[in-house]
Amino acid sequence: MFQNEFLKNTKIFYLDEGSVLINAIDIRAYLRHCQARIKEELIRGQLYLKKSTSNAVLELLTENLIKERLPEILAKIFILLDKGVVDKIDLKILYDLVRKVNVGLNNLIVHFIEFIMKRGNFIVSKPENDKYMIQELLDLKDELDDIVEHGFQANDIFNDIIRNCFVKFMNSKQNKLSQLLAKYVDLKLKSRDISEEQLDNVFDKVMVLFRYIQGKDIFEAFYKKDLAKRLLLGKSTSQDAEDSMIGKLKAECGTGFTSKIEGMFQDINISQSMNSAFKQHLCHTCSPISSDLCINVLTSSFWPNYPTFKVNLPAELINFQDTFQKFYSINHSGRKLFWQPNLGHCIVKAYFENGKKELQVSLLQTIVLLLFNDSQKLTFREIYEITNIEMEELKRILISLVYVKNRVLLKQSKTKDIEPEDTFCINTKFTDKLFRVKINQIQLKETVEEQQATEKSVLVDRQFQIDAAIVRILKNKKKIGHNELISELFNNLDIPVKPYDLKKRIELLIEREYMDRDNQYSIYR
């Protein structure tokens, strides 16, 4: 008689209390109130009630204070979480409470997924956010890991949710995130404001995002391009940091992924030894050529493809090239050298009215500047005819020399564009607080067209990967249906592909007689 009446009144009490408090107090205070009520009922049950009655009271409490209010609790707590005003204790209380009701964990999972996808899609959907996107994704990952570890008791279900959500929204932008991730690593490897220990920690976090992206081949292509600039222009701040990043990539993807990258470092090391040997050769032959120049001999299969420029070099550089060519041929007969003047950089000694300066410039900028040793004024057309530098590239070079903060060259006309009849001369009043002045090298900045060309070259390589996967599956299965083949390809390929792309490659393989199709039964063999 007592239990029925007692439970009836308990239900009414907690139902009324829940409906009033859910809107009357802050949701974090409501969670603490629920936690306090559970403790009170446990003590009360131990002191005054039979176990069966005490369990029934706790069930009514969770039913009316938590389960009935669960949608409102989760909606409000995740709004506050988005604002960053929920602490770890609040999340732990929430997790403990929702597990006490039979649908609580499932509801929490649904809201957690919505929360991650909303935050992630917001970060990756802003094109103007490219510069900060990777850092924001790393910060989001740290925040979510902290929530799971300290709030949700490191439940692996939530770790899997984080991984699946990141894979989904990071790959919604096709190959964009792969490119940005490579650029982010490049930025960190060139930074002088971060210790090696901090850098290693950053790379560990980067590798987590790297696992989520499908376009790892896009990452490799852009990583190689940026690495080439770091090595050739001496912008890398730490060899140990470079080795650390390569080691992490090798551990993740295998030696095949990093073999060409390691080959690039090998080329640089061999070139250093070769330059030392060449300097000794010049000394022994009593050559009048200066040995201040250094040459990197690069294996074409390791390095990115670069456009070749046939420019008219100064006589001193031509003599140096010929001498090195003869020296190289003695030790490496049968090999042919292709010169890449667009990748070179120089230190140019310059004398101005305000004193001597050293200008750190590209080789193409150097070629233009050396013309003014013999001429006080030159027109754009004259510079073009003397140097034979491609016209658009020459315009970029002149812009970098004319429109910098402290101009090295002066242009006679005041227009921003460069016309064929524009006249240029040396700025004799050039000054700078530094002795060695780095001149902005506009031609080294990667254009949208160059980025698209890099992506295009990777997409061509992907076609061969798809073809190879199709042939492997057919060799294994002998006969296979269309839908089964498509499913196998999606499972086997670790690159982002569309059904249309797969169908196109299948048609081309049939045309080239690598495979055959039975049209009646849609069977490939």
Q: How many domains does the chain have?
A: 3
Which residues, 6 or more positions from 487, have their beta carbon under 8 angstroms from its beta carbon? none
Which CA distances in Å does 105 have to 112, 169, 466?
A: 10, 24, 41
The answer to which of 132-136, 183-187, 446-450 has the lowest mean pLDDT is 446-450
Q: Are residues 398 and 466 in the same domain?
A: no
Which CA distances in Å does 132 have to 140, 180, 206, 297?
A: 12, 9, 14, 36
Predicted confidence band at 125 (pLDDT cuts at 50, 70, 90)?
Answer: confident
Give the burial class of 62: count Cβ atoms within 10 A of its Cβ; 0-12 exposed, 13-18 middle, 19 or more buried: buried
**Paired strand residues for 425:** 377, 410
Last residue of a domain, one of 423, 444, 465: 444
Q: Are residues 483 and 512 in the same domain?
A: yes
* Residue 66 to residue 63: CA distance in whole angstroms: 6
User: Can you read off the two tokens belonging to residue 522?
Assistant: 């849609």
Predicted confidence band at 321 (pLDDT cuts at 50, 70, 90)?
Answer: confident
Residue 27, domain member (yes or no): no
Q: Are residues 415 and 284 in the same domain?
A: yes
Summarize the confidence of residues 267-290 as an average pLDDT. 83
For 38-74, give the DSSP string. HHHHHHHHHHHS-HHHHHHHHHHHIIIIIITTHHHHH
pLDDT tens across 338-394, in order? 888 888 888 899 999 888 999 988 888 999 999 999 888 999 999 999 999 988 888
Nearest to 158 by CA among 118, 110, 98: 110
Q: Are residues 198 and 230 in the same domain?
A: yes
Predicted confidence band at 281 (pLDDT cuts at 50, 70, 90)?
Answer: confident
The CATH number of the domain where 184 resides is what? 1.20.1310.10
C-beta separation of 437 from 430 below 8 A: no
| pLDDT given at position 455 | 62
DSSP conformational letter for 149: I
Residue 24, domain member (yes or no): no
The CA angle 260-460-509, to the nearest 5 degrees, is 120
Nearest to 76 by CA among 62, 90, 64, 89: 90
Summarize the confidence of residues 452-470 as an average pLDDT. 72
Q: Which residue has the tokens 């002795």?
A: 435
User: Sign of the C-alpha dihedral, residues 272, 277, 282, 283?
Assistant: positive
* Residue 163 to residue 158: CA distance in whole angstroms: 9
Residue 469, domain member (yes or no): yes
Q: Which residue has the tokens 């009048």?
A: 288
Which CA distances in Å does 503 have to 359, 460, 478, 482, 522?
A: 56, 16, 19, 9, 13
Average pLDDT in the chain: 87
pLDDT tens across 78-92, in order? 999 988 888 889 999
Which residues, 6 or more positions from 304, have their beta carbon under 8 angstroms from its beta carbon? 221, 224, 225, 228, 454
Last residue of a domain, one of 188, 221, 253: 253
User: Can you read off the two tokens belonging to residue 242?
Assistant: 């470079």
Is the per-residue pLDDT at 293 higher than 70? Answer: yes
Nearest to 34 by CA among 93, 75, 82: 93
Which CA distances in Å does 455 have to 154, 302, 448, 523?
A: 39, 17, 11, 34
Which residues, 6 or more positions from 271, have their beta carbon under 8 angstroms from its beta carbon? 294, 295, 296, 297, 298
| pLDDT given at position 103 | 84
Predicted confidence band at 289 (pLDDT cuts at 50, 70, 90)?
Answer: low
Q: Are residues 452 and 440 in the same domain?
A: no
In the chain the first and final C-alpha atoms are separated, in Å, by: 78
Predicted confidence band at 102 (pLDDT cuts at 50, 70, 90)?
Answer: confident
* Residue 364 to residue 344: CA distance in whole angstroms: 8
Which residues, 6 or more positions from 453, have their beta carbon under 8 angstroms from its beta carbon? none
Q: Are residues 285 and 372 in the same domain?
A: yes
* Residue 105 to residue 109: CA distance in whole angstroms: 6
Q: Are residues 220 and 241 in the same domain?
A: yes
Per cent of the chain over pLDDT 90 is 42
Residue 140, domain member (yes or no): no
Cβ-count burial 495-512 (b if 16+ within 10 Å, e if not) = bbbeeebbeebbeebeee
How many other CB atoms are there within 10 angstroms of residue 183's CB atom?
A: 21
Q: Which residue has the tokens 């990952």?
A: 141
Q: Are residues 297 and 435 in the same domain?
A: yes
Residue 198, domain member (yes or no): yes
pLDDT tens across 397-441, in order? 888 888 777 788 998 887 778 888 889 999 988 888 889 888 876
Is the per-residue pLDDT at 304 higher than 60? Answer: yes
Residue 151, domain member (yes or no): no
Is the per-residue pLDDT at 496 higher than 90? Answer: no
The CATH number of the domain where 378 resides is what? 3.30.230.130
| pLDDT given at position 307 | 73
pLDDT tens across 164-179, in order? 999 999 988 777 898 8
pLDDT tens across 46-85, in order? 999 999 999 999 999 999 999 999 999 999 999 999 888 8
Predicted confidence band at 454 (pLDDT cuts at 50, 70, 90)?
Answer: low
E-strand ranges in 281-390 read 345-352, 355-362, 377-379
pLDDT tens across 210-223, in order? 999 888 888 988 89
Residue 330, domain member (yes or no): yes
Summarize the confidence of residues 444-459 as an average pLDDT. 59
Is the per-residue pLDDT at 479 higher than 60? Answer: yes
Q: Are residues 298 and 427 in the same domain?
A: yes
Domain that holds residue 452: 448-524
Predicted confidence band at 444 (pLDDT cuts at 50, 70, 90)?
Answer: very low
Residue 148, domain member (yes or no): no
Q: Are residues 397 and 458 in the same domain?
A: no
Q: Are residues 517 and 423 in the same domain?
A: no
Is the per-residue pLDDT at 145 higher than 90? Answer: yes
Q: Are residues 366 and 511 in the same domain?
A: no
* Residue 464 to residue 466: CA distance in whole angstroms: 5
Last residue of a domain, one of 411, 444, 477: 444
Look at 481 and 157; give whichever has higher pLDDT: 157
What is the rounded (10 degree) CA torsion for 262, 263, 265, 267?
A: 170
